[in-house]
Every structure is written in structure tokens, then in C-alpha cells.
Structure 1
Amino acid sequence: MLPAGSGNHCSAMLVVLGLAYLLLVRSMRHQRASSIGAAFAHGKRPLSSMTTDEAYDIMAQLQELEFPYAMNKARRIALLKAGAIPTMSRLFAATGQNTRRNAGRRSVDTEILLREVQSKPRSSERYMQAVARMNFLHARYRKAGKILDADLLHTLGSNVVEMFRIVDGGEWRSLTDVERCAIGIFHRHLGEDMGIPLDALPSGAGGGWRDGAHFAAELRDWTVAYEEAVARPVPTGNQYVRVYVDSATSAMPRAVTTLVRKILGSNLDTTMRTSLNLEPPGPVLVLYLETLGLVRKLVLRHLCLPRPSSWAVKAVDEQPNPATGLYNFEHAGFQPWYVKPTFGARWRPSALLVRALGGRAPGTHGERFHPQGYSLETIGPAPQEGKGLEEMSATVEFMKGRGSAKCPFAQK
């Protein structure tokens, strides 16, 4: 038998330990934000002095450690929004790749290229190859006037819009001015490397921007205004959603497809949701999603210690598959493009759930889903495989010699 009063003693100890843990979380939860902003705190340095290397390091911390869920969600919502712009949805339809058979690979390829440029330093070979590949795939359509400069600027800006909106609205804390500045520097560089004119922004043709935060704010505001001006429901926009969204759940009951469409619609404003022909979420679904989001915020803010570096969420594999020299891709999609068919990839809970919902297991259908991995030199639509190598090589060589301002917004 336990001594009298031992139960009360254990309860008191648990309370003390619980309070100590809560105090530890409170003292450590904001340490990364403080560390990121330390160099610019209390007027030590102006934001215009932020270097390119500092900006890319901050972007890496936001994606891998601080907000991996929100940053990945922002990337996917930004890609979805491209189909809400009529000129873009018409182009997707005209390429012949906007079909149920091709949609899975096309969306994964686009996401991989975006992940590569967002997660690698601007001076790295992988960043340059990913940008060069995107530029090659866009080049003939830009030359033919089927991709407008404004459409590319919108695609660039959509990532800023969604990063700001999803982190500020759905995470346990908002972005700081220092983090917004880093996001601005990254997107200005990416816009320049992709040859996207920035003159449409208010300060683009004038005296320039004060710092990265100023650039990001102008790009965000221009993007939202552009959506309001051009986004309209058109048949190709509806086709875009049917191919990229509805086909993923085609093997499931229709109610599942409707639910997925409404959940996606809840992540868009009225303009973009209407343009994509997505149903608005009802009040019950809105309440449920908002409650989940609030609970997640509170748990992360008050109960979770900061993610350690050893648990960093990598956007892409750091090293190629030693057996093939190609890069595999880890994702829980209905089609396992580029996924290495390991035991874990096939049998972990998320993989089993995907298969239960009608998805394919990694390694099925032989080589169809390219389990050996992808190459940045050839990734893209099947008709473009193996093409553009000379153009890409020239682009990479140009980028290597371009030079990069250490402080791109420093006032001269």
C-alpha cells in the first residue's frame, strides 16, 4: 500500500512539472524570432542593409523550422491560384497537358521546381538549374504572347500574398518586419532571375524600394489588385479545377470531392474562388475549420517547444539517390511521382491512408511514376524531356557571372 498522502504528493509534483514546462515553452517559443531579428533590433541596422545571404537564411528557417506547414500550404495555394487567371488557364488547356493522365505529374513537377528555388541559396547550382528550367519551359509561350509578363508577376506575387496571409492568419504568431523583408528580397531576386519586369509596381519605374519589406508589400498589393481586375469564371478555369482537383478524388464518393472543393474554397477570397468555380464553404464547415485552426494556434504557442534543427522539414532531398544520381521526392500524393519505394514510403500511416482513399503505392506500375527520381535538367512535360539543355546551360553560366548585390536594397 502507498503511504498516506503520497497521492497528493504525486499530484503536486505533476502540477509543478506541468507549470515548469509551460514556463519553459513561454521562455523559448519566441527565441527563433528574436534571433532572426537580433541584427536589426533597436535600430542597430536598417532593413535596407539586409544582405542576400541573410535573407535566404531567414527564408530557410521559416520554411524548415518556424512555419513548415504554413509555407508549404502557401506554395500549394499559390499554384492553385494560377488557374484562376483566364490567360493562364487557357494556356494550360492549349498545351494538351491539362488532362487527367498528365495532371498529377504536371502539378508535382511545378511544385518541385518551386521548392527547389525557394529552398536553395541563390548562388547554388540547384537554384540556378531550377530557374533555368523554368525559364526554358516558359520561353516559347512568352515569345508567342501566350504568357503575359503580368501573369508571371502575378504568379511571383501569389507566393508573397499567401505566405503573408496564411502565416499571419493561421500560425501561432505573425511574421515580423525582418521576415517580411527577407521574403521580399528573395522574390525580387527570383523575379529578376526569371526575367519578369517589375515596372508595373508603383516604385518599379521610379526610385526603387526602401527595403525588401517595402517591395513585398507593393508586390502583394499589386497582385491582389490584378486578381480583382482579370480573374473571371471561364470554361478553362473550370476545366483546370476538374483536372487538378476533382480527378484526385474521382475514385471516392462524390461527397468527398465536394468537401475537398469547399475546403480549398475556404482558403481563397471571393474573387479567386468564383473564378475557379469552387463552392463556398457553409457555416458549419467554416466553424469547424476555424476551430481546428484556433486549437492548433493555442497548442503550438503554449504547449510546443521550438522545432530543433534536427527535425528540420526539408522541401527537397538534400542528396541524390546514390543508386541513380537523381533526386527523389517525398510527398503523400495520390500519384507517387519520383517517390523511392522504400518500406517506410509504402507502409507508413500516411501512405496507407492515401492508398485507402484510392491512391497508388510507390513502386507500382513499374517505371511509370519514375521511382528512380528526377533531374532538374529534364523535369517537365513529357514532350520537353531532354530538350533545352543548351539554353539552360547558357542561363546557368550567365547567372554564375551575374554578381549579386550584398545588400540589394541599400541606398546609394
Structure 2
Amino acid sequence: MDVSSLTRSLLRWLENARHDMPWHVIVPTVAASYFALVQALRFRALHKMERKYAAYLDDPYKLDYKQAQEIMQLSLLYDMPFLFGFSTQWALIKSYGIATGTPLLVKTRQLSDPAKAGKRAEDTGVLLGEFLAGDLDSERARLAMGKLNWMHHRFSILEGDYVHTLALFVLEPHRWIEKYDWRPLTRLEKVAHFLYWREIGHRMGFGGIPETLEELEEWKVEYEKTHLYYIPENKMVTDATLDVFLRDLPKPLHSFMRTMFCALIEEKHVLRAIGYPEPPAWALSLKDCVLGLRRMCLRHLALPRFRALSPLAKQGKDGRYYRSPAYVLFEPWYVADSWWNRLALWLKFGVGGGGGSGKVPGDKWRKQGYLPHELGPPGTEKVSRDNVERQAAALEEYAGSGKSQMGCPFDFGWQR
């Protein structure tokens, strides 16, 4: 029996009981029935997934990347999407403590320039959505991966910095979910996350990724001992990113939110590396109280979702892709101009979109949607297109060759 059927049965029972039982009996009975319903359904999706992959419980490393993605999407799109996405944002912020990476971000001005930081954040979300929520072997995902590779491999980036960022994308959701969400991740889920991100790393063309999740954790600790330290560029990039978060909030709240920003980065050595102070005790307590209350409500009071989230941009009749306002973070890039989308964005950002910026679909935000090769810094659409298409074709061959199953990185060297 599905959730809607159970709900209808409960309502019918309540209607019949209303004439035969006093309210002081009905109310506790309904409450107890609801709590029992929550308990019965809360773990149903997890148990279903574990039954499907029972043969891999003892050794999850035998999963292939497609199986790993299906397992990962249980937490990403159904059970705990908020903290999964939230922790991924903090993974990016923590990567700004690596002193060998931020000077390039400042040089390209993609994060240090407030006018560009919003688009970069939205494009990052769109690209990650193509890989995490979509089919990694689809044409659109291959083109998106081709553009991602083209953007990164124009520059000299240390392989270790790539691996460290990947480690943050794997480990930060595990840490946040373990501490603050309504249930912890199982070992099967954790290893599946690692295996899928490792496949993404291989398709970006870098090696050096440890073979197990446990080794990745140890590698990250060792790498940070020599590469995580303060330089001014770290703070410049972090400041620009924080300004994007604060842009739509009233100015009197900025000081409070900056303090809470520090409270959400619990590692003191990371705070020092990005040039931010340690938070006061009250901020840490407030964070734990709010997230703890959320965890309790989800675990004991909230029914599971009726269906998984669908953050992928939808393809229009013109062949271009259009985002839903529901998944806009800061700026409505690639959202079609319709009265419904305008209403959704108004409800999301308020009148004027914060500071009078008018966050409604328009030419400023490319209301005509996007094609994968158009993502990224403005002005790269035409110069990258041929390269991106060649790389997407090579990725298709790579996926079909079996190399991805063997853990071999994709070779993009000829396309630099």
C-alpha cells in the first residue's frame, strides 16, 4: 500500500470515528497512527535499495559506476538532498584553503570578481547536476564533461589539487549527513559515493586517486599538512563567495551571518587557511540546535518524499535546456521567461530580487536556456565548441571501451 492509500484510509477511519469516539481518544490515536506511519515508511527506500544490492554489502568495491550512481541518488535526490547539496557547497569553500589553487582563481577573476561569482556558482551547480542527477554516458553529460575539461585543462593545475577537491566532494557530505541528518549513510552508500566520484575524476583525466575510501581520507589529511595554509588569495576568493551568499539579505543581518558562516566551518585549521576567525561558542551552539531540531523533525515527524527530486534542466522544443526556478541558488541563469517562473522567483527572492537587481528571467540571465558547450565563462562558447564536441566523442569511445570499468583515467592530452 502506498502513502496516498494509507492517508486515504486514515482519513476514512477518522471520519467514521468522529461520530463514535470522543476527541480525547481520537487525537492521541491519530497522532500515534501518524508516528507509526512515519516509522514504517521512513526507511522503506533504504531497505529496498539494500535488498537490490545485497550481493555487494560485504564488498561494495565490486560495484560499477552505474550501480554506484543509483545508490548515491537515494541520498542525493530522495532521502537527504538538502544536506547533500549544502555540504557540496561547503566542500567548494573549503577547497579555497589550498594555497596552490586560489591564485589561479584570482587571476581568472571567476571567483574573486563579485560580478562573475554568481554565474560561476550557477554553472557549477548545472554541471554537477548533469553528472550526479543525469546519465553520465548521455550525450548532454559528455558535452558538459567536455566543457568542464576544456575549462580546467587550459591551466596548469596540480593533480593533487584535483584529488583534494574530489575528496572534499566525497567526504563532506558523509561528515554532514553523519552528524546532522535524520539517518547516517550506510557503508554501501559511502563506498558508492566514492566510486562514482572516482569515475568522474577519471573522466576529467586525472589519476592519483586512492583505491579505497579509507585511503582517500588518509590521503586528504596528509595533503592538507603541506598545502592547506593561508595566503591572501584564499581570503579574497572566500570573501567573494560569501558576498554572493549575503547579497540578498538585509545588511543588518550580514554581521550575524558572517559569524554563522564561520560556525559552519568546524575545522580550525581550515578557518585559519581562509583567513577567517574562530566562531564564538553561542554560534556553534545555535548551529547544533537548529540542525539537531531539523534532524529530529525529519526522523520522527516527516513522511518521506512521494518522489525523487529532478534537478536536471529540461530540454525545450528548440533543443536547448531550461532550468527550473526551484534549483536556482543566487541568480536565475537559463530560466525561461514565463509568468510561472517569474512568480516562483519572486517568491524565492522577494520583490526586486534583493537590492533591486530584478531577479526575473531575462536576457541578462540568458532566458533562452543553454547548450552544454555554452556553460562557463562568457566568451568561451564559440572557441570551445569544436574541442568540446571532439572530447565528447572521445568520452563516448572511452565509456564503451571498458577503460572506465578498469579505473583508467580518460586521456585528454591531445586536446590541450
Q: TM-score range by the shorter chain?
A: 0.7 to 0.9
TM-superposition CA deviations, 1:214-269 (whole Å, max 9, x none) = x2232233224323431222111111122221255357665433333222222221
> Which of 39, 46, 53 does residue 66 from structure 2 map onto?
53
Moved more, 289-298 or 269-278: 269-278
Does the C-alpha gap of structure 1 residues 227 and 382 become closer, same or farther in structure 2, counting only changes over 3 Å?
A: same
Moved more, 228-237 or 42-51: 42-51
**Residues 59, 119 of structure 1: 8 Å contact kept:** no
Deviation of 1:7 (Å):
11
**Residues 334, 359 of structure 1: 8 Å contact kept:** no
**Residues 334, 355 of structure 1: 8 Å contact kept:** no
Give the corresponding residue for 2:114: 100
Matched, 1:382 2:343: no
Give the corresponding residue for 2:320: 325
Q: Whole-Å Cα distance in 2 between the matches of residues 375 and 260 of structure 1? A: 36
Deviation of 1:41 (Å):
4.0
**Residues 345, 362 of structure 1: 8 Å contact kept:** no
Give the corresponding residue for 1:277: 275
Give the corresponding residue for 2:297: 299
Does the C-alpha gap of structure 1 residues 43 and 230 become closer, same or farther in structure 2, counting only changes over 3 Å?
A: closer
Give the corresponding residue for 1:225: 222
Give the corresponding residue for 1:347: 343
Give the corresponding residue for 1:156: 166
Does the C-alpha gap of structure 1 residues 49 and 284 become closer, same or farther in structure 2, counting only changes over 3 Å?
A: same
Deviation of 1:121 (Å):
2.3
**Residues 349, 359 of structure 2: 8 Å contact kept:** no
Give the corresponding residue for 1:372: 368
Structure 2 residue runs without a partner (length 5+): 1-17, 408-416
Moved more, 290-299 or 41-50: 41-50
Residue 386 of structure 1 aligns to a residue whose secondary structure is: helix
Deviation of 1:371 (Å):
1.8
Does the C-alpha gap of structure 1 residues 216 and 350 become closer, same or farther in structure 2, counting only changes over 3 Å?
A: farther
**Residues 104, 335 of structure 1: 8 Å contact kept:** yes
Does the C-alpha gap of structure 1 residues 278 and 8 become closer, same or farther in structure 2, counting only changes over 3 Å?
A: farther
Q: Whole-Å Cα distance in 1 between the matches of residues 356 and 180 of structure 2? A: 28
Moved more, 53-62 or 184-193: 53-62
Residue 360 of structure 1 aligns to a residue whose secondary structure is: coil
**Residues 52, 408 of structure 1: 8 Å contact kept:** no
Give the corresponding residue for 1:126: 140
Residue 382 of structure 2 aligns to a residue whose secondary structure is: coil
Residue 219 of structure 1 aligns to a residue whose secondary structure is: helix
Matched, 1:336 2:332: yes
Amino acid at match of 1:190: I
Q: Whole-Å Cα distance in 2 between the matches of residues 296 and 251 of structure 1? A: 24
Q: Whole-Å Cα distance in 2 between the matches of residues 221 and 359 of structure 1? A: 47
**Residues 142, 392 of structure 2: 8 Å contact kept:** yes
Q: Aligned residues: percent identity?
A: 23
Q: TM-score, normalised by structure 2?
A: 0.84
Amino acid at match of 1:62: S
> Which of 150, 161, 181 does residue 191 from structure 2 map onto?
181
Moved more, 388-397 or 216-225: 216-225
Give the corresponding residue for 1:137: 151
Q: Whole-Å Cα distance in 2 between the matches of residues 337 and 264 of structure 1? A: 25
Deviation of 1:150 (Å):
0.7
Q: Whole-Å Cα distance in 2 between the matches of residues 44 and 94 of structure 1? A: 46
Q: Whole-Å Cα distance in 1 between the matches of residues 97 and 58 of structure 2? A: 41
Give the corresponding residue for 1:205: none
Does the C-alpha gap of structure 1 residues 257 and 172 become closer, same or farther in structure 2, counting only changes over 3 Å?
A: same
Residue 155 of structure 2 aligns to a residue whose secondary structure is: helix
Residue 70 of structure 1 aligns to a residue whose secondary structure is: helix
Residue 86 of structure 1 aligns to a residue whose secondary structure is: coil
Amino acid at match of 1:326: Y
Moved more, 380-389 or 343-352: 343-352
**Residues 202, 404 of structure 2: 8 Å contact kept:** no
Q: TM-score, normalised by structure 1?
A: 0.84
TM-superposition CA deviations, 1:332-377 (whole Å, max 9, x none) = 444322233333433347424484643634436x411112222211
Give the corresponding residue for 2:13: none
Aligned residues: 384
Amino acid at match of 1:322: K
Residue 140 of structure 1 aligns to a residue whose secondary structure is: coil
Amino acid at match of 1:95: T
Amino acid at match of 1:289: K
Q: Whole-Å Cα distance in 2 between the matches of residues 74 and 272 of structure 1? A: 15
Matched, 1:24 2:19: no
Q: Whole-Å Cα distance in 1 between the matches of residues 47 and 118 of structure 2? A: 40
Moved more, 345-354 or 156-165: 345-354
Q: Whole-Å Cα distance in 2 between the matches of residues 250 and 122 of structure 1? A: 33
Amino acid at match of 1:100: P
Moved more, 221-230 or 105-114: 221-230
Does the C-alpha gap of structure 1 residues 274 and 332 become closer, same or farther in structure 2, counting only changes over 3 Å?
A: same
